Amino acid sequence: MQKLTNKEEEIMHILWKLKKAFVKEVMAEITEEQPHYNTLSTIVRNLEEKGYVAHNAFGNTHQYYPAVSLETYRKRFINTAIENYFDSSYKNMVSHFAKEEKISAQELREILAMIEQKK
């Protein structure tokens, strides 16, 4: 699975939300700095070449849909981030968020309870 650019990832989030869409429908969902239609169409075709998107043809138009689920992408992204930024340690990742005050003691207790329930 190739890494996505920020813009490609933004487009994928739109396609995951819409489930299937024509380029004009994707364009309507972009709230900031809308690219030119042809630029957006190129981005979607690049996503298709990378295997993230597939399409159904309707004459000269294409309706695109995700070929990779959000969950599959999320797992790959999280695993890569943990490998690259936290030395493959979930403990290091959680410690980072605790130090940055991005996770509360209560949330940590809830996570611990989930872990305990699985034993």
Instruction: Give me the percent of the chain exceeding a pLDDT of 70.
Output: 99
Nearest to 19 by CA among 47, 53, 45, 50: 53
Residue 67: Cβ within 10 Å count = 15
DSSP annotation of 119: -
pLDDT of residue 14: 97
pLDDT of residue 41: 96
User: Is the backbone of residue 35 left (phi > 0), alpha (psi -120 to 50) or beta?
Assistant: beta
- 68-118 pLDDT tens trace: 999 999 998 898 889 999 999 999 999 998 898 898 889 999 999 999 998
Q: What is this structure's pTM?
A: 0.79
